[in-house]
Amino acid sequence: MVPETVEHFIGGRHVRSAFLKSFGVADPATGKEYAQVAVGIAGDINQAVLAAQAALDTGPWSGIAAADRATVLTAISDEISSHARDIAAAEALGSGLPIGQASEQTAWASQQFRLAADLITARATHEDPPTECSASRVAARPAGVVGLITPWRTPFLSQARALAPALAAGCTVVLKPDEWAPLPAMLLADITTTAGLPDGVVNIVHGSLHQRAPGTQARDALIAHPSVVRLSFAGEAATGQQVAVDAARHGKHLSADLAGNSPCLIFADADLDRATDSALFGAFALNGQRRTASSAILAERPVYEGLVRRLARRADRIRVGAPADPATQIGPLVHAEQHDKMSTCVRVAIRDGARLAAGGRRPADLPEGNYLAPTVLADVTPSMQIFQEQICGPVLRVTPFDTDDEAVALANAVPCPLVAYVWTADSKRARRLAPAVKSASIWLNSHNPLDVQTQPADRVPGQPSGPATYAGIDFYTQRQTMRIADGDTPVPQFGG
């Protein structure tokens, strides 16, 4: 059941905005408002940080044994599983994800907490206990109060990816979810409370779409707050770059999980049936709003035109419809602003010389909502704006190449590639090209059989890991070394 107003969650309670204002959020399938959301301002962030600091200083969470912490994390996982239908429905309503795909993302979110529990249990089991003869001992302490900034794309999974390792480390949290999709965070607050998480460990402050909200918005206030010692950001690259600048200015450690576009290289000797399936799934699953969407198809010249026809024919058959319909494969984009942005990208691409092979407009049978038909743009060149755009919608662009070197150059020209896909029957070519492609992961002759949304290795080089891995948990810890004198260690005397 959707509440009339989605409030902040601070110190274990749902609370109103300090600004005493709210803003409306609309159903992406109809454009009609479905709820009001509390405006988040600096005052709300401060109250949330104070609650998190109090829970850190006086509550049990940061000091309990790993086994007890793991018990609560497992309970959160179980609660997510038991409320999976409600969570998926909230994602479908708020972000337009098809209900079937939203259900899959919810299952991955549940696994994030279970994996975090398993990791800290395994680490505690294998730690050597201190003894009197130990020369030193290194202990991992919770870093403190951490700030999590999550996007509107697959919002519940994004929140789980950020939250699970932070809780596993024993930190207390202030979560700032995206304004366009507030419902999953509301459910997450209730789920963590029911699972036994102490009050104040997780606090949630929404943002603002309200034009009259004064002063610094919630995101900037969270970054700047002096008591917040770690920051996690997931979202678009351009926003992430600004967050990185702000975090550096305030001396904050930042884990950034940036969305990007992933090149898919298809050579003439590839299995074109499988490559086509992979390209379409990679570009259009989750409404084309995946962080690893293969929206940049690079095709070798001999098969280029045939591949364009294949992609266009299949794109025209994709089922676009209401997100609550189990048969829907692509739903509406999250917000009218995002729909307008993607529509503008298509128009500009056609103006620049790209060929519209499929889609590019609203489906005729869907006059309301933020729907865009699956779009295939051919003859895209690196000089076109669409080639450099970060696509976050059902828009696939296709570019031809003639040589292996040109294919690699085009792949490396795609902005923010998290992963890459290479389709070829020549295993020597695949092994030769893979090291030259500048992406964190490469799939050879395969789509991502595991949901890449949960894969910790797929990130921009140089950024800390975010999800539930040892590296992700370690980001939220502070190492402390205790040196123990072994016997009667002589102490130098000054002035003796």
* Structure confidence by residue, pLDDT tens digits, 166-191: 999 999 999 999 999 999 999 999 99
Q: What is the pLDDT of residue 260?
A: 77
Tokens 């499929």 correspond to: 358
Which of 235-239, 293-297, 394-398 bottoms out in mean pLDDT, i.e. has the lowest? 235-239
CATH 3.60.21.10 for domain 5-258+465-482: no
Residue 148 has pLDDT above 70, yes or no: yes
- Nearest to 346, CA basis, from 290, 299, 391: 391
Q: For the chain, give the percent of residues with pLDDT over 70.
A: 91
- Mean pLDDT over 83-93 rounds to 96
What average pLDDT score do residues 314-330 get?
97
Could you tell me the pLDDT band of residue 152, with boundaries at 50, 70 and 90?
A: very high
The 10s digit of each residue's pLDDT in 7-29 is 999 999 999 999 889 999 999 99
- Which two tokens mark 143? 């870093």
The DSSP bridge partners found for residue 138 are 481
Average pLDDT over every residue of 26-33: 96
Residue 211, pLDDT above cutoff 90:
no
Length of the chain, in residues: 496
Q: Environment class of residue 215 by beta-carbon count within 10 Å: exposed (0-12), middle (13-18) or buried (19+)?
A: exposed
- Tell me what the mean pLDDT of segment 113-141 comes to: 75
Instruction: Share the mean pLDDT of the chain.
Output: 90
467 pLDDT band, cuts 50/70/90, is low
Domain ranges of the chain: 5-258+465-482, 263-454
d(CA 151, CA 158): 7
Residue 48 CA to residue 7 CA, distance in Å, equals 13
pLDDT tens per residue, range 359-381:
999 999 999 999 999 999 999 99
Given a cut of 70, whether residue 133 has pLDDT beyond it is no
pLDDT digit string, tens, across residues 113-122: 999 999 999 8
Q: What whole-number distance in Å separates Cα of residue 84 and Cα of residue 109?
A: 10
Residue 322 has pLDDT above 70, yes or no: yes
Compute the distance between CA of residue 487 and CA of residue 132 in angstroms, rounded to an integer: 10
Percent of the chain with pLDDT over 90: 76
Please name the fold of domain 263-454.
Aldehyde Dehydrogenase; Chain A, domain 2 (3.40.309)
- Pairing mode, strands 296-300 and 263-266: parallel
| Of residues 143 and 488, more confidently modeled | 143
| Res. 462 pLDDT band, cuts 50 70 90 | very low
Contacts of 488 (CB under 8 A, 6+ apart): none
Token pair for 324: 């609550």
Selection from 83, 81, 102 nearest residue 93 by Cα: 102
Please determine, for residue 422, whether its predicted confidence score (pLDDT) is greater than 70.
yes
pLDDT score of 131? 52
Query: What H or E segment, with its residue span, contains residue 249?
Result: helix 237-249
Number of Cα atoms under 13 Å in the Cβ half of residue 475 = 27
For residue 6, what is the enclosing H or E element?
strand 5-6
Q: Which of 171-175, 454-458, 477-481 has the lowest mean pLDDT?
A: 454-458
Give residue 463's pLDDT.
39
The DSSP code sequence of 98-158 is -HHHHHHHHHHHHHHHHHHHHHHHHHHHHSPPP-TT-SEEEEEEE--EEEEE--SSSHHHH
SS3 content of the chain, % helix, strand, coil (to 5): 40, 20, 40
Yes or no: say if 237 and 154 are a contact pair by the CB < 8 Å rule: no
